[in-house]
Amino acid sequence: MYDTIIIGSGPAGLTAGIYASRANMKTLMIASAFNPSLITTTDMVENYPGFPDGITGFELIDLFTKQAKKFGLEIVEKDVSTVTKTAEGWEVSAGGETYRSLALIIATGTEYAHLNVPGEEELTGRGVSYCATCDGPFYRDSRVVVVGGGDTAVQEALFLTRFASEVIIIHRRDRLRATAILQERASAHEKIRFEWNAVVEKITGDTAVKGIVLQDVNDPDRKKTLEVEGVFVFTGYIPNTSFLKGIVDLDDVGYIRVDENMSTSAPGVFACGDCTKKLLRQVVTACGDGATAAFAAEQYISDLKGTSYGSWNKP
């Protein structure tokens, strides 16, 4: 029986792991065996304090993991199928194993939303991609599109200019949602151009992407065909919370509702990071949430056991 089980191994989960392990809680992290944290696919994190030159998402997670392991965090790589309430606490089934704990910390993050248009599924891996850092180098001297207008879309478009001859950003509005500095860089970039007020109607190609058909959002009869070899989709996120339906309170989209202490509607279940309903989903906010969740879980367990793990308010 663990004190706490952390599900998810991104910035929120690993920070919770650092805090919980350092407070001598018996802690297990269940990291997905095949769905790494989205931050690991991010080419450059420039707004996490302490790294003035920026750091790749992959390296950052590697450092977080080392730090958590230093304090004794136990990590298994399994995919969670169910979470069940028991008389004593919680039971987690993952990859054929069952783990038990008094408290749970959910830090499962999000995955990229799909466009759900004809051609997308059939051509995934054949020109349709959700990971510019993985697939960008296969598009040397090619013409590609990036669908979306947020930070991720613009950041990935800038990354793709290293390889592609032309990067076209397709956005459903007439201006970007991305942060000002990224907007400026994209607008100034000679390889980047924009298709505003446009959505992808379908992706064409037989064994590889040949092109896309765009639809004007203001005039659905107006179509435009572009010949492209790559379609990179960054239109939004879906929380990885389907296994929690009926266990904790979720909003309409599936984000977990938490209070200021990261408590969910289920006693002993805490949540942190991108999978929660919140305003800003960033590494730095995920870390803050993770620390709070670990502290709240520790208080909850101390109350259950009638013991204390010692002072938290010291460095």
| Binding site residues, another protein, CB under 8 A | 33-34, 36, 40-41, 58, 79, 95, 124-127, 129, 131, 133-135, 137-139, 207-209, 229-230
Rg over CA atoms, the chain: 21
Contact 171, 149 (CB under 8 A): yes
- From the CB of 34, what's the least distance to another protein, in Å? 5
> Any residues with CB less than 8 A from the CB of 50 and at least 6 apart, and which?
none
CB of 96 to another protein, least distance (A): 9
Which H or E element spans position 68? Answer: helix 57-70
The residue written with tokens 């706490």 in the block is 4
Q: Name the catalytic one among 134, 249, 251, 303.
A: 134
How many CB atoms are closer than 10 A to CB 298? 22
Smallest gap from residue 32 Cβ to another protein (A)? 9
Of the candidates 56, 70, 55, the one whose C-alpha atom is nearest the C-alpha of residue 18 is 70
- Of the candidates 135, 151, 274, 289, the residue annotated as catalytic is 135
Active site residue 135: yes
> Among residues 134 and 253, whose Cβ is nearest to another protein?
134
Nearest distance in Å: CB 129, another protein: 6
Please identify, using beta-carbon distances, which residue of 60 and 271 lies nearer to another protein. 60
Nearer to another protein, 36 or 118 (CB): 36
11-22 vs 283-305: helix crossing angle, rounded to 10: 40
Is 272 one of the annotated active-site residues of the chain?
A: no
Give catalytic status of residue 174 as yes or no.
Answer: no
Q: Point out the residues that are catalytic.
A: 131, 134-135
